[in-house]
Amino acid sequence: MNSQNAVHTSIAVIGGSGLYQLFEGADTEQIHVPTPFGTSVVLTQGSLGGRKVVFLPRHGSDHSVPPHAIPARAMIWALAASGVTTLISTAAVGSLNPALPVGTIALADQLVDRTHGREDTYFDGSVVRHLPFSDPFGSGLRALAVAACPDVVDGATVVVVQGPRFSTRAESQLNRAAGIDLVNMTLYPEAALAAELGIDMVALCVVTDLDSGERQEDAVTADIVFARLAEARPRIVSAIERIVQAVPADYVPRELIDRAAVVEVLGAEVR
């Protein structure tokens, strides 16, 4: 692999807002992965729950990358080229469902994309494939996560909006009326790109707010989100660790796109 070091694990974690570091102590390794998308991706490899894991913060280590500017194609390509087959992603979300109050951690099972202009496929050139995406989080990895985390809510529909602004009250009401449970800014195109390259993904959604809120005093702000994420961090890391421990060493992900097409996207980097 064309990088400074080599990844020695098939498990990756992407940290959303509030999760910029994962490992305790200094026993980590920085791995630089050049990509064909104009940027290199830096992975941090360390140990969690007795397993090797690679980690990268979605917004950068200082939250300097807004949702619409996240280099998702480079990030997922770097993971796939490094041999990653399982991905645990964390995401701050607003709740539209009273059954999912602030502080809830839920495993998403459905997704609605309301973003625009994001590069969301690897098959937009000479190689064309159409991703089956009816169940974006319907893999065996999600089943393992549900079993490993009985304290986490099983199932929620998340709508991904463009950001970085929060919803208007009217938008929030429309999403609520449509039966959507959660609002997020980043899980798409990440989930689709991972599925295209044969990486199974689970989304740990951390409820930090009530989106725009039905009452004026419930309206979300960034300060509220970051404060509640800091409070929830131990629970988030605990859930990640339990999922990591539950993944068998011989875990085989779904193949939604034929391997030959994936190999063509990854080129000489594929392992």
Q: How many Å apart are CA 234 and CA 105, to the nearest integer?
A: 12
Contact 188, 119 (CB under 8 A): no
pLDDT at residue 2 tops 80: no
Q: How far is CA 190 from CA 75, 171, 263, in A?
A: 9, 23, 19
Tell me, what's the pLDDT at 268?
A: 60
Q: What is the value of pTM for the model shown?
A: 0.93
**Is 110 within a domain?**
yes
When mean pLDDT is compared across 4-8, 138-142, 204-208, the lowest value belongs to 4-8
pLDDT at residue 256 tops 80: yes
pLDDT in tens, 188-201: 999 999 999 999 99
* Range 209-227 average pLDDT: 84
Tell me, what's the pLDDT at 227?
A: 92
CATH for 119 = 3.40.50.1580
* 209 flagged as catalytic: yes
pLDDT band for position 7 (cuts 50, 70, 90):
confident
Marked catalytic residue, from 211, 223, 250, 258:
211
**Is 87 within a domain?**
yes
Split into its structural domains, the chain has a count of: 1
Q: In terms of Cα–Cα distance, which of 21, 157, 28 is closest to 96?
A: 157
**E strands, the chain, in order:** 11-15, 29-34, 40-48, 51-57, 86-95, 105-107, 110-114, 153-154, 157-161, 182-184, 200-209
Tell me, what's the pLDDT at 265?
A: 95
Mean pLDDT of the chain: 92
**Is 175 within a domain?**
yes
* Range 44-50 average pLDDT: 93
**Is 6 within a domain?**
no
**Is 2 within a domain?**
no
Q: How many Å apart are CA 23 and CA 117, to the nearest integer?
A: 34
**Is 3 within a domain?**
no
**Is 5 within a domain?**
no
* Range 140-144 average pLDDT: 95
Marked catalytic residue, from 109, 120, 181, 209:
209
Q: Which domain covers residue 165, as residue numbers?
A: 11-269
218 vs 184, more confident: 184
pLDDT in tens, 76-86: 999 999 999 99
Phi, psi of 182 (to 5 degrees): -135, 155
pLDDT band for position 27 (cuts 50, 70, 90):
confident
pLDDT band for position 9 (cuts 50, 70, 90):
confident
Tell me, what's the pLDDT at 3?
A: 47
pLDDT band for position 1 (cuts 50, 70, 90):
very low
**Is 147 within a domain?**
yes
Tell me, what's the pLDDT at 5?
A: 65
Q: How far is CA 236 from CA 27, 36, 156, 176, 200, in A?
A: 21, 32, 17, 25, 19
* 258 flagged as catalytic: no
